[in-house]
Amino acid sequence: MEKSTVENEGETEEEKLKGAYNNLGKTTAYYDDLADKYDEVVVKDWGYKMPFEVAKLCATVLDGVHISDPQFLDLGCGSGLVAVELKKLGYTTFTGIDISQKSLNIARERGIYLRLLDGNLSQSLVPNVLPQEGMFDVLTCVGTTSYLDPEVLSHWSKLVKPGGLIVLTHKTETWIKWEPVQDQFVLDGTLEHVLTSEEMLYLPGFKSMDDRAKIYVFRRPQ
């Protein structure tokens, strides 16, 4: 039985997050509602550090491949935290895509992104959102894959240039769904595996969640 409106209004942020899974409308509504308080609730209260960890790992990998002035595509960019962390490390060129318009508005206020676009990541982004494939050096998707089918990798692999990087984060419940598909893409030559990070707590301050997360880095073959 669904909760009443009154009960929904009294839900904790943790309960609202869990209710946003597997329903695109609820996902969009949840992140629209959370946008103004994302930094306070998710970053400060829940201890969310994945954008920082991803930016640090991107810098390490990019140092080894010598891509000059990389063009980043930030899928599920939300309020822009990944670009914030990457900018601290000296990177400057970002395109962000998200389904939450309110989150995009906050990202726009940060003044970091070259482009911010409204798009559904479960669907092909070319040509409705992006004009063509192969525009970017690095694709990041941080804290978003729980809402998506891993088959989107068949499209995402073409959004970066040959030799470009795809950097993803998955939390515990998503590993069983995404890892076999990723492995198959590596076996068939669509992607090359670069590295997988150690496990880390996903939301250390989340009262009822002990999920862990890993960062995965792949390369589009030359």
Query: Distance between CA atoms of 13 and 41, rounded to whole angstroms?
Result: 8
Q: What is the pLDDT of residue 157?
A: 97
CATH number reported for the structural domain that contains residue 160 in this entry: 3.40.50.150
Buried b (16+ CB within 10 A) or exposed e, 54-84: bbbbbeebbeeeebeebbbbbbbbbbbbbbb
Distance CA 131, CA 119 (A): 13
Say which residue the tokens 């525009």 belong to.
135
In-domain check, residue 104: yes
Domain count, the chain: 1
Contact between 54 and 74 under an 8 Å Cβ cutoff? The reply is: no
66: pLDDT strictly greater than 90: no
35 touches 42 (CB < 8 A): no
Question: For residue 13, is pLDDT > 80?
Answer: no
CB 150 within 8 A of CB 177: yes
Exposure on the CB side of residue 77, measured as CA atoms within 13 A: 32
CA distance 172 to 188: 25
**Which range of residues forms the domain containing residue 182?**
50-219
Q: Which of 14-23, 60-69, 109-118 has the least mean pLDDT?
A: 14-23
Q: Give 68's contacts (C-beta < 8 A, 6+ positions apart).
A: none
**Which residues touch 29 (CB under 8 Å, ≥6 apart)?**
20
Residue 12 domain flag: no
Q: Would residue 202 count as lying in a domain?
A: yes
27 inside domain: no
Average pLDDT score over the chain: 87
Q: Is residue 180 part of a domain?
A: yes
What is the 3-class SS of the chain, one letter each residue?
Answer: CCCCHHHHHCCCHHHHHHHCCCCHHHHHHHHHHHHHHHHHHHHHHCCCCHHHHHHHHHHHHHHHHCCCCCEEEEECCCCCHHHHHHHHCCCCEEEEEECCHHHHHHHHHHCCCCEEEECCCCCCCCCCCCCCCCCEEEEEECCCHHHCCHHHHHHHCCCEEEEEEEEEEEEHHHHHHHHHHHHHHHHCCCCEEEEECCCEECCCCCCCCCCEEEEEEEECCC
Identify whether 130 is part of a domain.
yes
Instruction: Establish if 18 belongs to a structural domain.
Output: no
pLDDT for 123-147, tens place per residue? 999 999 999 999 999 999 999 998 8
Q: Is residue 42 part of a domain?
A: no
Asked whether the predicted pLDDT for residue 20 surpasses 50, the reply is no
Model-level pTM? 0.85
